[in-house]
Amino acid sequence: MRHHTGTDLTPATARRISVAAWAMAAFGTVAGELHALARINSHPGDLELPLTRAWAVPAIGALRPLLDWADPYYVYWTYGKIWLPICLAFAAAAYLVYRRRQPQGVEKWLWRIQLAAYALLTLSVAGDYYTPWTEQMFVVGLVAFALIGVGGIALGITLLRRSFRPRTTAWLLIAFLPFFFAITDVTSMGNALLPLMWGWALAAHRFVHSRHDQPHLATTSGPVPAN
């Protein structure tokens, strides 16, 4: 007989995490652009980037009521609060997949680095938009982005070599840095997280709906008969 630990995730919890990950990825894809416009509206210097100017100028004109209801920086700071639930959702999805794989050796440590970076990023977002320590938390966020970018390459390659599915998630981990620079050249830094959000939502969905994966989930907090 074996006992499930307190870190086991029930099927119901796994499904909630999967749904939340999908919902926040979709929400972030739309709301993230509104936050980007609010940033550009409060930091006109961003319009010096040609690709940013090409889409942001007409979008700001079309969505003016959503951007001019208060001081531009306050609007930007308020919309920035969306990133906390988004980060929580995709970090939870990544943790769900980590629990499923029960990795060993080097892969286990690469997972831990990524999960620690996600936790650090979530802390940074909370501090940036929910406390007065914006500048200090922004620096913390930069450290988190660096860990996600560099550590993600190693983890993504390891996952591909070990036949991880879906492969899309592993490739998105590897491509985080190129996507980061490409996306921030067009829109805001927060939107650089969107590929990761979709990647972990996809992985969590596969975990929850795969028959092969189901036995790894706890169905009860009590003992389970041995097979």
What pLDDT does 9 receive?
79
pLDDT digits (tens, 9 = 90+) for 91-118: 999 999 999 888 999 999 999 999 999 9
Domain boundaries, position 98: 13-209
Say if CB 24 and CB 50 are below 8 A apart: no
Count Cβ atoms within 10 A of the Cβ of residue 132 and give its class: 0-12 exposed, 13-18 middle, 19 or more buried.
exposed
Nearest 5°: CA angle at 54, between 146 and 174?
A: 25
Counting residues of the chain whose pLDDT is more than 70, the rounded percentage is: 89
> Does 100 reside within a domain?
yes
Extract long-range pairs of 188-192: CB within 8 Å, 24+ residues apart: 188/32, 188/35, 188/36, 188/39, 188/40, 189/145, 190/28, 190/32, 190/35, 190/36, 190/80, 190/83, 191/28, 191/32, 191/33, 191/36, 192/145
Say if CB 91 and CB 122 are below 8 A apart: yes
> Does 145 reside within a domain?
yes
> Does 90 reside within a domain?
yes
What pLDDT does 46 receive?
87
pLDDT at 220 over 90: no
> Does 223 reside within a domain?
no
In a 3-state reduction of DSSP, which class is residue 224? strand
Extract long-range pairs of 173-176: CB within 8 Å, 24+ residues apart: 173/114, 173/199, 176/148, 176/149, 176/152
Say if CB 145 and CB 125 are below 8 A apart: no
Of 101, 84, 86, 89, nearest to 206 (Cα)?
101
What pLDDT does 7 receive?
52
pLDDT at 1 over 70: no
What pLDDT does 10 receive?
86
Counting residues of the chain whose pLDDT is more than 90, the rounded percentage is: 72
pLDDT digits (tens, 9 = 90+) for 43-80: 888 888 888 999 999 999 999 999 999 999 999 999 99
> Does 57 reside within a domain?
yes
Q: Tokens standing for 43?
A: 């930091």
Higher pLDDT, 53 or 209: 53
Domain count for the chain, please give it. 1
pLDDT digits (tens, 9 = 90+) for 77-90: 999 999 999 999 99
Place of tokens 């794989």: 101
What pLDDT does 135 receive?
87
pLDDT at 128 over 70: yes
- The pLDDT of 141-161, averaged and rounded, is 95
> Does 217 reside within a domain?
no
Integer-rounded Cα Rg, in Å, for the chain is: 19
pLDDT at 4 over 70: no
In a 3-state reduction of DSSP, which class is residue 1? coil
> Does 6 reside within a domain?
no
> Does 215 reside within a domain?
no
